[in-house]
Chains A and B, each alone.
Chain A
Amino acid sequence: MKIPKLIYLFFFALVFVSAQKIETKRAKNFTLPNIEKQRVTLDSCLKKGPVFISFWALWCKLCIDELDAFKAVYEEFETLGLQVLAISEDGPQATGKIKPFITNRKWRYNVLLDPTNKVKNLYAVKTMPTSFLIDKSGHIVYQHTGYKKGDENKIREKIKAMFEKTE
């Protein structure tokens, strides 16, 4: 292979060191339909309080584990105004399966449909699950990729710190 991979690796090494803190960036606004066919806009949600966004799909086991585990965190902070937008990246063959699945799973999140990955691309999400915590002013205060048991506690701490900061 003639392509100088070492040069690429050098660039990546630079990015490794530098591109680690993305907090305080503004969350990009978007509009998507939810499973009840109502259109949901991020900016409108932010007027009510902070938002936790999670990109998930029916085929993504870790995404489902994360959203299952997050139910307790949501119940804890819901009264303080936290909203959850669970953005489904499933294709049209799975659209009909989402509502029975989430009802049975007892998710009370606002589940949005993004079958063309419009918002996933806007947020440059390359793997799932990926989640974002956005404060009321519209800034991304925390971002998380992947899921393993116990990660929900890390997110809980971030939400707690966010609410303490705004008090």
Chain B
Amino acid sequence: MKIGLKNSHLLFAFFSLAPFLFAQEESLPVVEPPVGLNISGSTKTEYWFWLGKDSLTRKTEHFETNTSLIINYENFNLMGNLFLYEPSRPKNPLRLLGGSFAYRTPSIELTLGDFYSLFGRGLCLRSYYDENFRYDKRLFGFLAWGEFKGQEIRILSARPQNIIFRENTYSLENDTTDLLRGVEFSSSLIPYLELSGRYVRLNKEKDLTPQAFTEIFGPGLLLNYKSLEFYYEYAHKLQTREIVGGRKKGKGHYLTLSFSSALFGILLEYEDYDSIDLGGTGFRYNDPPTPIKKGISINRGTDERGFGINLHSSLSSLRLEGNYAWFYTHKKDKGIREILGKAEVDFFNQFTPVFTFEHLKTTGIEEGSVFRQEWKPGVEVSFNLGEKNFKLEGNVNFVREGNTSYQERQYSLSSDVLPILSLSFSSEEATKGVKRYDYQKRWLIAEGTLTLTDNLSLRLRLGQEKGGLVCSGGVCRYEPPFFGIKSVLLMRF
């Protein structure tokens, strides 16, 4: 729900005062709280100040706050959420008031209002909120879930809202008149085996063809026997062709196989997606998984095929981790190859060295860059000196981009100076100025975290951020360079 400026102030005042009022009660002599009644919440507020101006949007300030208030009585939950985004320029604030009312028991859950939902591993439907990546795929409507003797059913009907942060600005990406309806069923009647099925239907008010809709559905299978786990999910999409009519088809396969033991753990995964994207340009209502650990996808379910191997091993004081992933279009004209390695030597009492290695090869992923290859060895050493801890990190990235080659070197030092204060300094430099970073060659950052209480912390960051492509869960965005101050206040009540 979008709210006006006047209302946003009043609501913010209410949300801010609520913890104050409730906390007063707790400053009284110890009183047992009423059984069943519970009020709590949290606030995250950010204020950025550009030293200079944001080169893309010419902004000088950024203010955002996200406050949640939860009132719980026995099995009933009333949740309120207020999000305010107030940039200095351009004048495009985003003010959202959301909330939900839920009734929850171990076998029944009913939710009315805002919620997030996941069907299977996300081939048919996935809505979520990634706070660090600033991506909110909330649904507004009704969700019912029930369980009886190993049989589970989930039904929903909701209108989606995809809010993404791009080029330092929040925006609502999707058509909010879209309507999603879905059902998922799973059965665990047979020991070690779970069978499931799901169906999602998307209706768009603006479709030109009468009674047009898109549906995506498919079965799933989970076999879990001791150390072995096998999962397979299939999705089939049928979409109405606009104007000409008829049904356009899509299909997707996702499978994983894992083995777990104290000596080593391994996971193999395979993905093949052909036209199972549900949504529109820049946004999706489903989220087929990507094997790339850095969260990069190619075109998010439209045309992707790949596999991944993930390995963990513990040998006495040595801990090893490896990841290999390959993800390309079917014609292999665009794609990514990723190799990650990590070795942690936990042998010495006072310091722990960790050796890391990263290799990334991308073809046609970033705009203006047809081919990019990175080889990045690194080392980090943590010193544990009783009350005070230090950490030193360093890595060199050997980059080849088309016909250009250069190095990026990164060093950082962090320390817990006082029990309530942590400081870190980092420096990064490139041997060559490239367009993607505005031809800049050096970036310096100082950061301090003040933990005033277990429920209250303040983080301040001063310096230059490089910017570039950042990804999470298959969603990517270009982050412009930043020079200025960023502050984050976190509070729980």
The digit string for B157-187, where 1 denotes a CB below 8 A from any CB of A, is 0000000000000000000000000000000
Contact between chains at A19 and B20 (CB < 8 Å): yes
B240 within 8 A of A: no
Interface status of B116 (Cβ within 8 A of chain A): yes
Contact B33 A25 (CB under 8 A): yes
With A and B bound together, what is the CA distance between A139 and B314 in angstroms? 37
Contact check, B224 vs A96: say whether CB atoms are below 8 A apart. no
Closest approach, in angstroms, between the C-beta of A161 and any C-beta of chain B? 15
Is A160 located at the chain interface by the 8 A CB criterion?
A: no
- Smallest CB-CB separation from B89: which chain A residue? A1
User: A19 is contacted by which of B23, B66, B188, B387 (Cβ under 8 Å)?
Assistant: B23
Q: Beta-carbon contacts of A17-36 to B below 8 Å, as 1s and 0s?
A: 01111101110111100001
Residues of A with C-beta under 8 A to B127: 116
Which residues of B sit under 8 angstroms from A115, Cβ to Cβ? Answer: 118, 128
Instruction: Choose from A37, A100, A143 the contact partner of B310 (Cβ within 8 Å).
Output: A100
Residue from A41, A96, A146 whose CB has the most chain B CB atoms within 10 Å:
A96
Residue B347, interface by CB 8 Å: no
Q: In the bound complex, how far is the Cα of B454 from the Cα of A1, in angstroms?
A: 32
Q: Is the CB of B229 within 8 A of A99?
A: yes
Q: Does A166 contact B (CB under 8 A)?
A: no
Beta-carbon contacts under 8 Å, A1-57 to B: 1, 3, 5, 7-8, 11-12, 14-16, 18-22, 24-26, 28-31, 36-37, 39, 41, 44
From known contacts A15-B491, A20-B455, A41-B106, infer whether A97 and B267 are also in contact, taking CB-CB under 8 Å: yes
Q: Is A79 an interface residue (CB 8 A)?
A: no
Q: Are B269 and A145 within 8 A (Cβ)?
A: no
Contacts of B301 in A (CB 8 A): none
Q: Count B interface residues, CB 8 Å.
A: 105
**Known contacts A122-B70, A124-B68: A28-B30 contact under CB 8 Å:** no
**Interface membership of B63, Cβ < 8 A:** yes
Q: Please encode chain B, from 34 to 49, with 1 for each CB lying within 8 Å of some chain A CB and 0 for all others.
A: 0111101111110100
Enumerate chain A residues within 8 angstroms of B310, measured Cβ to Cβ: 97, 100
Residues of chain B in range 41-66 having any CB-CB distance to chain A below 8 Å: 41-45, 47, 61, 63, 65-66
B457 in contact (CB, < 8 A): yes
Q: Which A residues are in CB contact (< 8 Å) with B26? A: 21-22, 24
- In the complex, which of the residues A14, A20, A104 contacts B314, with contact meaning CB atoms closer than 8 Å? A104
Known: A30-B104, A31-B104, A103-B261. A24 touches B457 (CB 8 A): no
Is B131 in the interface zone, CB < 8 Å from A? Answer: yes
- Given A15-B19, A19-B455, also A104-B492 (CB < 8 A): no
Binds A, one of B252-260, B272-280, B371-379, B462-470: B252-260
Within 95-129 of B, Cβ neighbours of A (below 8 Å) are at 104-106, 115-118, 120-122, 126-129
Closest A residue, CB atoms, query B227: A103
Q: Are A28 and B117 in contact (CB under 8 A)?
A: no
B410 lies within 8 A of chain A by Cβ: no
Given A16-B456, A104-B264, A146-B451, decide whether A26 and B35 contact each other with a Cβ distance below 8 A.
yes
- How many angstroms from the CA of A28 to the CA of B36 in the assembled complex? 9
Q: Please state if A1 and B61 are interface contacts (CB–CB under 8 Å).
A: yes
Which of B9-17, B206-214, B241-249, B394-402 participates in binding chain A?
A: B9-17
Known: A19-B492, A104-B314, A144-B454. A99 touches B116 (CB 8 A): no
B residues near A15, Cβ cutoff 8 Å:
16, 19-20, 23, 43, 491, 493
Q: Known contacts A126-B42, A144-B454, A149-B389; is A101 also within 8 Å of B265 by CB?
A: yes
Contacts of A12 in B (CB 8 A): 16, 43, 45, 489, 491
Kindly provide the distance from the CB of A92 to the nearest chain B CB, expressed in whole angstroms.
Answer: 4
A11 to B222, CA, bound (A): 50
Q: A24, B45: Cβ atoms under 8 Å?
A: no
Tell me whether B329 is interfacial, beta carbon within 8 Å. no
Q: How far is the CB of A111 from chain B (nearest CB, A)?
A: 12
**Residues in B whose Cβ lies below 8 Å from that of A1:** 61, 63, 86-88
Name the CB-closest residue of B to A91. Answer: B473
Nearest opposing residue in chain A for B75, CB measure: A29
- Residue contacts A-B, CB under 8 angstroms, 20 given: A1-B63, A3-B63, A8-B12, A8-B63, A15-B16, A22-B455, A31-B104, A97-B310, A100-B258, A103-B265, A115-B118, A115-B128, A116-B127, A117-B128, A121-B79, A125-B42, A127-B490, A143-B454, A146-B449, A150-B386
**What is the interface of chain B, defined by CB distance below 8 A to chain A?**
9, 12-13, 16-17, 19-20, 22-24, 26-27, 30, 32-33, 35-38, 40-45, 47, 61, 63, 65-66, 68, 70, 72, 75, 77, 79, 86-88, 93, 104-106, 115-118, 120-122, 126-129, 131, 147, 188, 194, 222, 224, 227, 229, 231, 256, 258-267, 269, 287, 289-291, 310, 312-314, 382, 384, 386-387, 389, 416, 422, 449, 451-457, 473-474, 489-493
Known A-B contacts: A18-B24, A37-B224, A103-B227. Give 6 more (CB < 8 A). Answer: A7-B13, A26-B33, A93-B121, A99-B265, A100-B266, A124-B42
In the A-B complex, the 4 residue pairs with the closest CB atoms: A100-B265, A19-B493, A93-B289, A11-B16
